[in-house]
Amino acid sequence: MSADIGSPLARFLDRGRRPADGPIDWNAAPERYKRYPEAERVHLPWAEEGAEAASIRSLMGALLLELCGITRLMWIPVLDREGAPRPGEFKVQHGRSAPSGGALYPLEAYVAVGNPGPGLYHYDPAHHCLELLRTGDHRGALAPGAPVPAVVVLTTRFWRNGFKYGEFGYRLQTQEIGVLAAHGEAIAARLGTTVDTRLDFVDESVHALLDVDPRAEAALAMMFVGDEAAAASTPSYRELIDLAPASALRRAPTITDRLPAMAALHAASMTPPDDLVTESAPYPMESGRAVTLPSVRVSLDAGIPGRSSPADGFRPRSIDAAQLGGLIGTVADGWAGFGRGSALYCLVARVEGIAPGMYRYDPAQHALVEITVGVDESIRCHPVVGEAAAVLLPVGDFLAGTDTVGARWYRIVQADAGVVLQRGALAAAALGLAARIYSGESPDFTDYFGGMAGRTALAALLIGKPRAVSTLDHRIHPVRYPAGKTRAGSDLPE
């Protein structure tokens, strides 16, 4: 690893391990939504119905609504100074389908389509519409050599969660890319299309097309939507860039001075290698007793309407081994992290038929390999674990791929973790369980992995049976299913 990569990465890992200390300055919070008030607008349908169901406009409407749109209303009890709910007092908060750290949603979506109305658009989630940034078919300029019906560019506005979490916010932003990748995969299955999320692109040219300052807002990923389309004659990059784009209402603040470690790491990651080779050898499987898991089919899209974090935590109740087997198998199916040297571990606390302890998942056998017997009290009583029945832990190495991929490796590893978190959360909902994401560093977990030099728990997904919730979570826009699909979406009896 070269010094120009190692220095900003080491500095960020030192400063960005946990949220910033001290009180949060909510007066420093930026606006929740980016807007282009003078731009021409294209209103999107709220559901894929009627003759328009097969159109690209309807497809993008359904996809963007589920990825970044407002789909939930939450009535949250107001607490008194002692932390007890005030009778009859609630505050209303809106949310989206996919989770985001602190519900701050730092990611923005931009869409390039060829028809109707070829152009580059910004998605306005507050009004569920597209705002035209620049006319002309931008798909070829954004994704050369890969003609598809639509290209979605996901950017992050660094300060949108950085004001609250400090340098740690970048960890959440890069994990959220994986969350949306997994969520997009589930939505695509319901819509009968495909979403392929990629992290390899030329940052500088993408930022110029989007007219964003990468010190304030930067591209993190691209989504190729739909099957390969017929190649079309599209304007060149130079022809497109010469057209004046629409102006945003406000520019996001730069983070060069506000969050220097985050800014330096992202700046180092914006030089993509000639070939984004991300394969790395997996480390050897530990020796231990293997516990074969039941194979249960789970449809990720069935978990979309019921996915939510348990506001009041978990009940101290056991879950079935079949539920755990279905969840882990669904998470691991095709997971790119295995090819990048990452692994899945599972802390079992209350699973019928499986003894408590730490396990590593063996995808070749669909089995849990026992690492430790029993769960130490420091783990069982850890506030992160609480009353969860099991904790799924994606484990990776922040340095393993820097020699070939450079500082971009950090984005890749964290995006892989995000895929695990969202696939697991959706699978849990489809299986009638609850799941809560915890992205903070937990030394207690890391210390449990004996002989794993350089590797760390990237995040944790807590799984179990939820307590009676005091927060009412109401979905504004119902999810529609193809005829014959059950809400449970699995082979478990209902």
Single pTM value for the model: 0.91
Length of the chain: 494
**181 burial class (0-12, 13-18, 19+ CB within 10 angstroms)?**
buried
Measure the CA dihedral 308/311/313/314, to 10°: -50
Residue 33 near residue 119 (C-beta atoms within 8 A): no
- Window from 87-91, 345-349, 363-367, 488-492 with minimum mean pLDDT: 488-492
DSSP helix/strand/coil, 76: strand
Give the residue carrying structure tokens 């978190």.
421
* Distance in angstroms (rounded) separating the CA atoms of residues 290 and 425: 25
**Strand (E) or helix (H) holding 394:** strand 390-397
Query: What pLDDT is attached to residue 21?
Result: 79
Give the start-to-end residue ranges of the domains of the chain. 3-269, 290-475
Query: What pLDDT is attached to residue 16?
Result: 83
Query: What pLDDT is attached to residue 268?
Result: 94
Q: Supply φ then ψ for residue 469, to 5 degrees.
A: -85, 140
pLDDT confidence tier of residue 481, bands split at 50, 70 and 90: very low
pLDDT at position 450 over 90: no
* Distance in angstroms (rounded) separating the CA atoms of residues 348 and 370: 10
What tokens does 276 get?
A: 């984004």
Tell how strand 129-135 and strand 41-43 pair up: antiparallel
Query: What pLDDT is attached to residue 155?
Result: 98
Helix 169-191, helix 158-165: angle, nearest 10: 130
Query: Which are the contacts of 7, defined by CB distance < 8 A and separation ≥ 6?
Result: none
* Distance in angstroms (rounded) separating the CA atoms of residues 305 and 398: 34
pLDDT at position 319 over 90: yes
* Distance in angstroms (rounded) separating the CA atoms of residues 439 and 421: 9
pLDDT: is 408 or 454 the higher one?
Answer: 408
Query: What pLDDT is attached to residue 416?
Result: 96
Query: What pLDDT is attached to residue 220?
Result: 97
Q: Kindly report the CATH class assigned to 3-269.
A: alpha beta
Same fold flag, 3-269 and 290-475: yes
Please name which of 218, 262, 180, 359 lies closest in space to residue 13, comparing C-alpha atoms. Answer: 262
Average pLDDT, the chain: 86
pLDDT confidence tier of residue 281, bands split at 50, 70 and 90: confident
pLDDT tens-digit series, residues 179-195: 999 999 999 988 889 99
Percent of the chain with pLDDT strictly greater than 70: 87
**99 burial class (0-12, 13-18, 19+ CB within 10 angstroms)?**
buried
Helix 260-269, helix 158-165: angle, nearest 10: 140
pLDDT at position 443 over 60: no
Partner residues linked to 112 by β-bridges? 120, 151
Residue 175 near residue 457 (C-beta atoms within 8 A): no
pLDDT: is 265 or 144 the higher one?
Answer: 265
pLDDT tens-digit series, residues 371-398: 988 877 777 777 777 789 999 999 999 9
pLDDT at position 94 over 50: yes
pLDDT tens-digit series, residues 157-213: 999 999 999 999 999 999 999 999 999 999 998 888 999 999 989 999 999 999 999
| Ordered alpha helix ranges (H), 242-394 | 260-269, 321-332, 377-380
DSSP helix/strand/coil, 10: helix
pLDDT at position 421 over 90: yes
Fold annotation for 290-475: NADH Oxidase (3.40.109)
Q: What one-letter code names the amino acid at 330? A: T
**Strand (E) or helix (H) holding 223:** strand 217-225
Query: What pLDDT is attached to residue 494?
Result: 34
Query: What pLDDT is attached to residue 23?
Result: 87
pLDDT confidence tier of residue 84, bands split at 50, 70 and 90: confident
pLDDT tens-digit series, residues 303-314: 998 888 887 788
Query: Which are the contacts of 205, defined by CB distance < 8 A and separation ≥ 6?
Result: 141, 237
pLDDT: is 323 or 51 the higher one?
Answer: 323
**211 burial class (0-12, 13-18, 19+ CB within 10 angstroms)?**
middle
pLDDT: is 217 or 148 the higher one?
Answer: 217
pLDDT tens-digit series, residues 111-162: 999 877 899 999 999 999 999 999 999 999 998 877 889 999 999 999 999 9
Query: What pLDDT is attached to residue 153?
Result: 98
